[in-house]
Amino acid sequence: MRYALLVLGGPYSHQAAHSALRFAHAAIARGHRVETVFFYHDGVYNASHLSAPPQDEPHLVDAWSELRRTHGTALQVCVAAALRRGLLDAREAERHGKSGASLEPPFELTGLGQLLDISQTHERLITFAP
Amino acid sequence: MSEVSETPHGDLLVILRHAPHGSLWLREALDLALVGAAFGQSVSLLLMGDGVWALLQGQGSGPLGQKGTQSTFEMLEMYDIERLYIDIDALEARGLTRDDLLLPVIEVPAPALSAVLAGHRQIVNF
């Protein structure tokens, strides 16, 4: 089965992102593919490159990046939801006159239209929300 | 306002479970509904729980400076989003009646909710 996940919860403050990540690993372990994770609403905070949790806690941003590296999962972030929450890649940071970027590859900014596209091109789209 | 008379159907069902203004849940849910409609999908909304507050009349912008949601709801028809399902038990539990609402809705009693969910190809729950 080709899965896509929609993550609506921010890291640490809610379980949604942790559950989504655990689901992704469980699905992959069963031989399925998790091709795309789309971050929307407070879920966009999962893409913050500046996230620095204590070392004895799971590092969610790194965990998502690792999912991309080992399984090729695309990490897509809604640009409108991201910008209003201070998550900008280098291009957006320059466009808005900000001193630094807070979002870096493998996360990519994209539009809500992409989420609709995902729902049509994957066999399942599962929402993880607080 | 009417009860479910035809079989619920559509490409995308956006479920609204949060009251407006206190958070971005409603705003960003409606954004997805509007984008879906703009992409030519057949979109329905289902208001459940505190989501029923979203359809109260007179939701203008407030002291927090957020955009009011009334204007967005009034745009729905222009985007051909015409099926607004509402959990009638949630409405009544909050002391509201159909006369308090901004737009005509399709009343859904609890036993019929599953048919609304089953009738849509994709569901996104806000």
Surface of A (27-66) touching B: CB under 8 A:
40-42
pLDDT over 70 at B79, yes or no: yes
Report the CATH number at residue B85: 3.40.1260.10
- Check CB contact of B25 with chain A, cutoff 8 Å: yes
Mean pLDDT of chain A: 97
CA B53, chain centre distance (Å):
10
Assign residue A107 the CATH number of its domain.
Answer: 3.40.1260.10
Amino acid residing at B92: E
Number of domains in chain A: 1
3-state secondary structure of B120: strand
State the residue range of the domain holding A103. 2-128
Contacts of B123 in chain A (CB under 8 A): 127
**Banded pLDDT at B65 (limits 50, 70, 90):** confident
The answer to whether residue B39 sits within a structural domain is yes
pTM of the model: 0.93
Asked if A111's CB is within 8 angstroms of B126's CB, the reply is no
CA–CA gap between residue A32 and residue B10 (Å, rounded): 28
pLDDT category at B68 given cuts 50, 70, 90 is confident
Q: Is residue B126 part of a domain?
A: no
Q: What angle do CA A27, A30, A32 make, to 5 degrees?
A: 60
Band of pLDDT at residue A95, cut at 50, 70 and 90: very high
Give contacts of B125 with chain A, Cβ < 8 Å: 127, 129
Neighbours of A98 (CB within 10 A): 13
CB-based contacts of B69: which residues, under 8 Å, 6+ apart? B20, B21, B26, B27, B30, B54, B59
Percent of chain B with pLDDT over 90: 72
The residues, any chain, with a CB within 8 Å of residue B125's CB and separated by 6 or more, are: A127, A129, B15, B17
**CB pair distance less than 8 Å for B28 and A81:** yes
pLDDT value at A47 more than 60: yes
**Is the pLDDT reported for residue B1 higher than 70?**
no
CA distance to A13, B3, B9, B73, per residue, from B84 (Å): 32, 11, 12, 10
* Summary mean pLDDT of chain B: 91
Question: How does pLDDT run across A49-87, given as a tens digit for each residue?
Answer: 999 999 999 999 999 999 999 999 999 999 999 999 999
Between positions 100 and 119 of A, the ones with CB within 8 A of B are: 111-113, 115-116, 119
Domain count, chain B: 1
Decide if B88 is inside a domain.
Answer: yes
Task: Tell me which of A4, A7, A37, A78 is the catalytic residue.
Answer: A78
Q: Print the domain residue range for B31.
A: 2-57+65-117
Per-position b or e across B28-42, b if 16+ CB within 10 A of its CB: bbbbbbbbbbeeebb
Residue A70 is a catalytic residue? no
